[in-house]
Every structure is written in structure tokens, then in C-alpha cells.
């Protein structure tokens, strides 16, 4: 019983967790296909690809992608190089220094990106001034500053990835190469580098992605070279459009594709390693998947994803949501007309109410003045002097209010003259 409860609650928790994690992305991806100009799912209008074509016509986005790629390549080169030398030295450094060294090298990951960006800009401006260069020298160049600023902390990521593999490296291999007459550089290039290659590739991919999505540092350094992230941030801050959802959809599909491919290749390698021991191939009867697909669900998913993207691309050529959009617009116009009529009526009512309120106020003012003029007048009256002024129906309209006021006027009431229409008009003039 208790066990069942635990199990259920674990699944509920997992459901909530992944809903929080993936839900927003799924909804954002869906909004890319809704023709509604404000990215949303719930009033679903028409299925459309129009936001994609709008995205591809956006000069700033395209330029941002170009800048991002240039920055990414520069950052990858710098941070992998620095990360590799950082890792090599970490494995060799004098043990007592290691903790301090490690702290310094890891620190950039923890330092807020804003701080890194500012310090980079400030420092290189100083350097620039020191050499007496102008504002268009390389040290003040947005591309240079962005690459430098991003590499500062991305190199730390790379180092962590590279150290993990370097720790498994057999140092005797290096010694063997040296004993056989290789120079240090040869040993490095022919033995260590090939061994490190998988980790270098991983860290390069990580570095590129980290550079591509960096905002906090880049926002201070970018200068004349806004990256894609900067452009996106500016767009998102000043009004949102489904074209951004379209871009997000593309990025999500690419990410899923990359993750699945990676998984599929890993699985394939495992399968090959497992099957290399078999001398006799198993014979299965009936339907068989092509060999590269069998027992590899990730690969199947990749193929399905590619097929889905291809199909929707074909669909996009022929799909024409014009009729649907026209229909929705028609409906909207009807709704808008109704709303306008509604608004007009509401406005008229509000105006009337305001006028009534004004008059009532004026009446009240008159009321206050009156007793001052005749202090001996008894306050007690038939319905109370204020009674009719504040009656709820009084707000319905000016005419009604006046009528009401006249109605409330009792012949023997000493305040009766207050509600005299002429009295009201003079009070309003006050």
C-alpha cells in the first residue's frame, strides 16, 4: 500500500518535473504554426508556415546568425587551445599548488557573465588607450572583445571535459615514444592528440553551443557585431512575434536531431562491439529492419524526425491557409463590430453616468453651502436632504437624476429649493 503510494507519487512528480521542463518549449514550438499575430495556442486560428518565411526575410536575424557563427568559431579555437593547455598543466602541476590553480581556472564559470563582460571591455579599453590606438583599432572591435570575453569562461568548460579524458591517459606511452627517439612535439602530435581527439571534439561542440547562446557577456562586448542571441533579446524585449517561435522551433528540431544522432551513433557502436563476438549470424524469420535500424530506437527516431521535417517542407510548398485566414478575419470582424457596438453603448452609458455624477456633486456642494447660509434650519426632513441625491438610480442619467431630485422635493421641506433646477445650473457654474 505504502509502496504503491510512493510509486504513484514518483510518477506524478516526474510528470510535473518534465511538464515544467518541456511544456514551455512544446507550446512555444506550436505557436510558430498559429496564424495569430500574438504567439499563442489557445485561440487557435489557422495552421500556417508564414512565420517561417517572415523569419528568413529578417535581415537582422540572418546577420546575427552570421556573426554568431564567426564568434563561435573564434571562441572554439581559443577556448579549446587554452582548455587543453590548462588541462595538461593541471595534471603535471606541483600538488600543493593544484588546489589554488584549480580554483583560479574554474572561477570564470562561477563569475557572473555580466562581470566578465564589463571587465573585458574595461581592460581592453585601457590597453587600447595605453598603446594610443583610436576607437577603431582591433582592441575596441566588437568581434575581438566578444571572442575574448566568451573564451575566458568557455575555456574552463573545455578544460573540465579534457581533464576527464586526460586522467585516463597512460603516461608511459609518451615515455615509450620519447625512448624510441621521437621529439616532445612529435610525441604530443602523434600520440597524445589522437588520444584526446574525442574529448577535443566534444569540448569544441560544447564551446560552440555555449558561445552561440551566451548573452550576459556578449551584451557588453558586441559593439558593431550583434550576435543572434543579442538580436533575439532585443526583439523579445520590445514586443514578441511568432517569427521568434519559428526560429525556436528550428533550433529545437536541430537540437533534438543532434541529441538523437549522438545517441544513435553511440548505440550503434555498442551494438557493433557486442556483435563482433558472434561468429555465426543469428537468423531471424519474417520481417527485418535494415541492419542500421535494428535494436536502435534512437536511429529510428532520427529517421522519423527527418521524414517528418521533409514531409512538412513539402507540405509547406502546397499548404495555403489563405482561405482559413480570410475566414478567421471575417469572424474577427464580426466580433469586432459587435464589440464596437458594445463599446459605444458602454461609452454612452458611462458618459451619462458621469454627467449625473457631476450634477449630483454640484447638488451636494449647493447643499453644503445652504446650511451655512441658514444655520437655524432644522436638518431633519422627510427623507433626509442627501437621500435622493445618492440614490443609486440617480446615476442612470442626467434627466433621471433631475426628475428624482424634483420628486424628492417636499413642499414643506426647508431645503427644497436646493433641488430647484435653476439652483443646479448656478451651482455647476461655480
Partner 1 sequence: MKKGFLHNFYQHNGRVLGTALLVILTFWIGVLIILPQLSMLDYSLREYLPSGQVGEYTLKNYRHLVYGAEGASDPYNYVDLKVFTRTIVAAICVTIFNLLLCYPIAFFLGQVAKGMKLRIFAMLLIIPYWINEILRAFALKIIFGATGMINAVLIGMGILDEPFDFIRADIALYAGLGYAYILLMVFPMYNVIESLDHNQIEAARDLGAPWWRIHWRIVVPYAKPGISSGCTMVFMLSAGALAAPQILGGPSSLWFTQIIYQWFNDGGNWSQGAAYAIVLLVSCIIIVLAFMKMFKVNMGDIGK
In the bound state with partner 1, the residue whose beta carbon lies nearer, of 97 and 180, is 97
Q: Which residues contact 117 (CB under 8 A, 6 or more apart)?
A: 149, 216, 217, 218, 219, 220, 221
Cell of 292: 542500421
In the bound state with partner 1, the residue whose beta carbon lies nearer, of 244 and 405, is 244
- Of 8, 19, 22, 314, the one binding partner 1 by CB under 8 A: 22
Window of 34-42, 346-354, 359-367, 370-378 that interacts with partner 1 by CB under 8 A: 34-42
Site for partner 1 in 132-151 (CB under 8 A): 148, 151
What 3-state class would DSSP assign to 413? coil
Cell of 159: 578544460
- Of 144, 220, 222, 419, the one binding partner 1 by CB under 8 A: 220
Least Å distance between CB 346 and partner 1?
A: 17
- Of 57, 66, 126, 304, the one binding partner 1 by CB under 8 A: 126
Site for partner 1 in 35-74 (CB under 8 A): 38-43
Q: Is 213 a residue that touches partner 1 (CB under 8 A)?
A: yes
- Of 67, 146, 203, 245, the one binding partner 1 by CB under 8 A: 245
Per-residue contact flags (x/-) with partner 1 for residues 166 to 185, judged by CB under 8 A: -----------------xxx
Q: Which residues contact 408 (CB under 8 A, 6 or more apart)?
A: 383, 387, 388, 419
Least Å distance between CB 297 and partner 1?
A: 8
Contact 123, 48 (CB under 8 A): no
Q: Is 226 exposed, middle or buried (0-12, 13-18, 19+ CB in 10 A)?
A: buried
Q: Is 158 a residue that touches partner 1 (CB under 8 A)?
A: no
Cell of 212: 552561440
Name residue 34's beta-bridge partners.
Answer: 47
- Of 57, 85, 320, 333, the one binding partner 1 by CB under 8 A: 85
Q: Is 397 a residue that touches partner 1 (CB under 8 A)?
A: no
Neighbours of 383 (CB within 10 A): 12
Window of 152-160, 318-326, 350-358, 392-400 that interacts with partner 1 by CB under 8 A: 152-160
Specify the length of the chain in residues: 430
* Whole-number Å distance between alpha carbons of 215 and 211: 9
Q: Is 297 a residue that touches partner 1 (CB under 8 A)?
A: yes
What 3-state class would DSSP assign to 351? helix
In the bound state with partner 1, the residue whose beta carbon lies nearer, of 216 and 413, is 216
Least Å distance between CB 142 and partner 1?
A: 14
Query: What DSSP designation does 191 have?
Result: I
Binding residue count for partner 1, defined by CB under 8 A:
93
* Whole-number Å distance between alpha carbons of 364 and 430: 12
Q: Is 75 a residue that touches partner 1 (CB under 8 A)?
A: no
Contact 242, 36 (CB under 8 A): yes
Q: Is 31 a residue that touches partner 1 (CB under 8 A)?
A: yes
Neighbours of 148 (CB within 10 A): 20
Query: What DSSP designation does 215 have?
Result: -
Distance set, CA 383 to CA 35, 103, 237, 363 (Å): 61, 85, 59, 16
* Whole-number Å distance between alpha carbons of 160 and 288: 43
In the bound state with partner 1, the residue whose beta carbon lies nearer, of 42 and 422, is 42
Contact 327, 289 (CB under 8 A): no
Least Å distance between CB 113 and partner 1?
A: 6
Site for partner 1 in 246-285 (CB under 8 A): 247-248, 251-252, 255-256, 258-260, 263
In the bound state with partner 1, the residue whose beta carbon lies nearer, of 120 and 388, is 120
Least Å distance between CB 92 and partner 1?
A: 6
In the bound state with partner 1, the residue whose beta carbon lies nearer, of 194 and 322, is 194
Distance set, CA 83 to CA 59, 78, 165, 358 (Å): 35, 8, 13, 76
CA atoms lying within 13 Å on the CB side of residue 288: 8
In the bound state with partner 1, the residue whose beta carbon lies nearer, of 247 and 391, is 247
Q: Is 155 exposed, middle or buried (0-12, 13-18, 19+ CB in 10 A)?
A: buried
- Of 112, 194, 310, 384, the one binding partner 1 by CB under 8 A: 112
Per-residue contact flags (x/-) with partner 1 for residues 225 to 244, judged by CB under 8 A: ---xx--xx--xx--x---x
Q: Is 6 a residue that touches partner 1 (CB under 8 A)?
A: yes
Q: Is 80 a residue that touches partner 1 (CB under 8 A)?
A: no
Q: Is 200 a residue that touches partner 1 (CB under 8 A)?
A: no
Least Å distance between CB 206 and partner 1?
A: 10
Amino acid at each position: 500500500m505504502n509502496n504503491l503510494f510512493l510509486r504513484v507519487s514518483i510518477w506524478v512528480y516526474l510528470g510535473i518535473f518534465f511538464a515544467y521542463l518541456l511544456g514551455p518549449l512544446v507550446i512555444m514550438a506550436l505557436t510558430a504554426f498559429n496564424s495569430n499575430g500574438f504567439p499563442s495556442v489557445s485561440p487557435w486560428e489557422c495552421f500556417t508556415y508564414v512565420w517561417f518565411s517572415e523569419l528568413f526575410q529578417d535581415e537582422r536575424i540572418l546577420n546575427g546568425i552570421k556573426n554568431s557563427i564567426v564568434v563561435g568559431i573564434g571562441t572554439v579555437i581559443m577556448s579549446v587551445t587554452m582548455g587543453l593547455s590548462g588541462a595538461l598543466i593541471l595534471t603535471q602541476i606541483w600538488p600543493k599548488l593544484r588546489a589554488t590553480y584549480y580554483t583560479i581556472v574554474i572561477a570564470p564559470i562561477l563569475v557572473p557573465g555580466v562581470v566578465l563582460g564589463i571587465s573585458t571591455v574595461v581592460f581592453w579599453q585601457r590597453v587600447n588607450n595605453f598603446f594610443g590606438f583610436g576607437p577603431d583599432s582591433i582592441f575596441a572591435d566588437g568581434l575581438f572583445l566578444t571572442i575574448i570575453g566568451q573564451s575566458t569562461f568557455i575555456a574552463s568548460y573545455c578544460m573540465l571535459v579534457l581533464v576527464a579524458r586526460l586522467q585516463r591517459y597512460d603516461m608511459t606511452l609518451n615515455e615509450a615514444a620519447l625512448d624510441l627517439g621521437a621529439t616532445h612535439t612529435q610525441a604530443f602530435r602523434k600520440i597524445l592528440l589522437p588520444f584526446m581527439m574525442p574529448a577535443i571534439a566534444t569540448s569544441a561542440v560544447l564551446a560552440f553551443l555555449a558561445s552561440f547562446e551566451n548573452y550576459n557577456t556578449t551584451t557588453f562586448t558586441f559593439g558593431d557585431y550583434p550576435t543572434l542571441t543579442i538580436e533575439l533579446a532585443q526583439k523579445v524585449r520590445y514586443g514578441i512575434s511568432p517569427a521568434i517561435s519559428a526560429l525556436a522551433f528550428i533550433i529545437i528540431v536541430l537540437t533534438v536531431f543532434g541529441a538523437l544522432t549522438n545517441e544513435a551513433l553511440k548505440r550503434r557502436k555498442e551494438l557493433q562491439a557486442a556483435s563482433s563476438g558472434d561468429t555465426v549470424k543469428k537468423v531471424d524469420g519474417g520481417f527485418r529492419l535494415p541492419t542500421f535500424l535494428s535494436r536502435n530506437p534512437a536511429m529510428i527516431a532520427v529517421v522519423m524526425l527527418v521524414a517528418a521535417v521533409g514531409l512538412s517542407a513539402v507540405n509547406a510548398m502546397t499548404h495555403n491557409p489563405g482561405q482559413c485566414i480570410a475566414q478567421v478575419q471575417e469572424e474577427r470582424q464580426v466580433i469586432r463590430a459587435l464589440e464596437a457596438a458594445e463599446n459605444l453603448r458602454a461609452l454612452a452609458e458611462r458618459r451619462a453616468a458621469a454627467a449625473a455624477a457631476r450634477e449630483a456633486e454640484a447638488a451636494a456642494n449647493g447643499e453644503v453651502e445652504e446650511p451655512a447660509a441658514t444655520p437655524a434650519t432644522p436638518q431633519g426632513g422627510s427623507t433626509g436632504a442627501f437621500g435622493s441625491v445618492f440614490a443609486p438610480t440617480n446615476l442612470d442619467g442626467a434627466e433621471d437624476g433631475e426628475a428624482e431630485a424634483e420628486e424628492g422635493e417636499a413642499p414643506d421641506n426647508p431645503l427644497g429649493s436646493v433641488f430647484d433646477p435653476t439652483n443646479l445650473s448656478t451651482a455647476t457654474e461655480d
